[in-house]
Structure 1
């Protein structure tokens, strides 16, 4: 197969997946190949598509278009659409006790493009046991614009030189610190010593979102976005809980303060009490050398690629599988119930 005129389907089910796959779309188009989007389900908003981006509306249209490969930042993709299936992950393994799904094989993919040794080694072990997929360590395409310096400065404020604190929180009621730290953040924002940016997982409860929106002032901005990278760039330090976005922040070489994080990671500044938050943020803003060295070592393990070329590596690994085929892989289990559910969800019953 030649290097030109390949077709790649960008298959997403969440709004944050636009930002995950757009660097891949850019790399695909830069080499003269084609990319189209398919939006699964009701949790992804088509309004986030740009005027120049092409969308296929139905599975019938997808089958008629005949993609060579399907690039997926989620855990599932139907087997009844054409093309090899490539998993590119929707985030990092943040060490949550309930995050077994990060390393759970659902027999949907022919290739997993991993982010770094911390992900590659477990998936290579799973590949050896399963025999149904291959693994390539490529880095995560989502971060390419960050490493290339292509992000806009949307959250910078001219003339405001205060340190910027970014507060992010997961939506899980059991793990989210947003309800607990509300009063503390309100008080700290009213002091005016720092500028606060607040951004939550899209599934965060409306009640919590509305409470934080009500705090907006010259000192605090609530942000709703499908692309967190410019936010990460704008902040000097992050306050978080267990959300995997904290790893993306660390990969800039910036410190993270966590509240009741359930890991024992030494590259985080973890606190257990509300009155410890302010001193911890002050210490993190000082960037002590011992902490920064631990962050650097962690980043080398989780995502060693700093060149902004992960998209190109994903496409190279995909091309390699397209060139050499999947003949060396075992046949995937049928998983009839799972695929029946996918057909019902997508309303597609043809063979």
Structure 2
């Protein structure tokens, strides 16, 4: 099975790499598509990769795994949506854009909704597999324990707190927590890590980098893959970001500000001045532990670390049954958008 791993943003690398490992194990040929804007961030330069759509046309794939919203309709291959997050409340998460033949979902909450939509649109199928980015939770959850111990010793801290806000201008807490985080850092028992989405506005990246330079126990993290920081942190501070669910699945407490989810099963407030109090109370009492278990059952019940394998096998089986699409049928306006974004198909 010839496969394209399609990356338009750098968060896709950590989602697709577990799939790549399965493809290598199966001795399948694959190529990464790495958009020009993220080519300098690409960590797997020893693999075959390209930033040219014409190379993907020439590759003639059987399957294309996409943790994003778009894929050129004219590329050969089963177009497989594998998602870039777990935040179903985000605008557009359940929007059907008609670029994909197959949706591989993370858990029942997503599967049920997309199956309902598949009955309406009748131009894609849905299979639940789990999410490959979280395979490390099942296989190597303690991978960074030594790194955590070294950090705690170096900064003489007791707990690691992670601040990971969304980039969305309407939803981000970044403009409101600069002073609150600085005040929180007065407690030297806390080591505070800052990890921002790659699409965060530059003014807030610059502001928080300045804060980290000013305060010794606040560290701004440049590494692209957030998984390490999720694993080593004891508590997450955020807003309306899909990273909330990735952290909750580790069974650790979360504090959010103005989260827009209809069902909130963690600490949420609209009062930024409560940060210090809420951090202390959630570390000590953790009253949301039972509700976290309910989220796990609905959003990602898989603990075996085999979601990437299920994705590849589900794709193999689907192709054996339905064949490999030469292209995707789209409306004129959708085709026009893809042509504008990626260029027209080669003749």
The two structures share one fold, judged by TM-score above 0.5: yes
Aligned match of 2:203:
207
Unpaired segments ≥5 residues, structure 1:
1-5
1:254 is matched with 252
Q: Which residue of 2 aligns with 1:36?
A: 31
- Determine the C-alpha separation between the residues in 1 that align with 2:114 and 2:249: 21
Question: What is the CA–CA distance in structure 1 between the aligned matches of 2:16 and 2:88, rounded to whole Å?
Answer: 20
Q: Deviations over 1:120-139 (max 9, x none)?
A: 00100111112111110000
Offset, 1:206: 1.6
What are the Cα deviations for residues 284-325 of structure 1, in whole angstroms up to 9, with x where unaligned?
A: 11253x510110111110111111100011011101111001
Matches within 5 A, 1:304-315: 304-315=301-312
In the alignment, does 2:105 pair up with 1:114?
yes
- Following superposition, the deviation at residue 228 of structure 1 comes to 0.4
Task: Kindly report which structure 2 residues correspond to 1:60-209, keeping only aligned pairs within 5 A, or say none.
Answer: 60-96=54-90, 99=91, 101-149=92-140, 151-152=143-144, 154=147, 156=149, 157=151, 159=153, 160-209=156-205
Identify unmatched segments of 5+ residues in structure 2.
Answer: none
Q: Which residue of 2 aligns with 1:3?
A: none
For the 8 Å contact 1:110–1:326, the answer to whether it is kept is no
**Counterpart position of 1:232:** 230
SS in 1 for 2:58: helix
In 2: Cα distance, 1:134 partner to 1:185 partner: 45
Q: Does the 8 A contact of 1:199 with 1:222 survive in 2?
A: yes
1:14-53 superposed matches below 5 A: 14-40=9-35, 42-53=36-47
How many residue pairs match? The answer is 339
Q: Distance in 1 between matches of 2:171 and 2:305?
A: 32
Structure 1, 207-216 or 305-314: larger mean CA deviation: 207-216
**Residues 138 and 314, structure 1, Cα contact 8 Å, conserved in 2:** yes
Q: Which deviations, in whole Å up to 9, do the C-alpha atoms of 1:124-179 show, x marking residues without a partner?
A: 01111121111100001111123211644555515245111101111122211111
Q: Does structure 1 residue 298 correspond to structure 2 residue 292?
A: no
Q: Does 1:346 align with 2:337?
A: no
Distance 1:266 1:206, change over 3 A: closer
Whole-angstrom CA distance in 2 between matches of 1:81 and 1:92 = 27
For 1:259 and 1:345, the matched residues in 2 are separated by 35
TM-score by length of 1: 0.91
TM-score normalised by length of structure 2:
0.92
Shift of 1:63: 2.1
CA distance in 2 between counterparts of 1:79 and 1:119 reads: 24
Q: State the alpha-carbon separation in 2 of the partners of residues 326 and 128 from structure 1.
A: 21
Residue of structure 1 in register with 2:269 after alignment: 271
- Give, in angstroms, the shift of residue 342 of structure 1: 1.7
The whole-number CA distance in structure 2 between the counterparts of 1:109 and 1:287 is: 44
Contact map agreement 1:266 1:294 (CA 8 A) in 2: no
RMSD: 2.0
C-alpha deviations, 1:188-231, integer Å up to 9, x for none?
Answer: 11331311001111111222111111222431101122210000
Per-residue CA deviations over 1:38-94 (Å, capped at 9, x if unaligned) read 123x44234423232211342222122211100000111111111110000011125
- Partner SS state of residue 91, structure 1: coil
Give how far 1:345 is off: 2.4
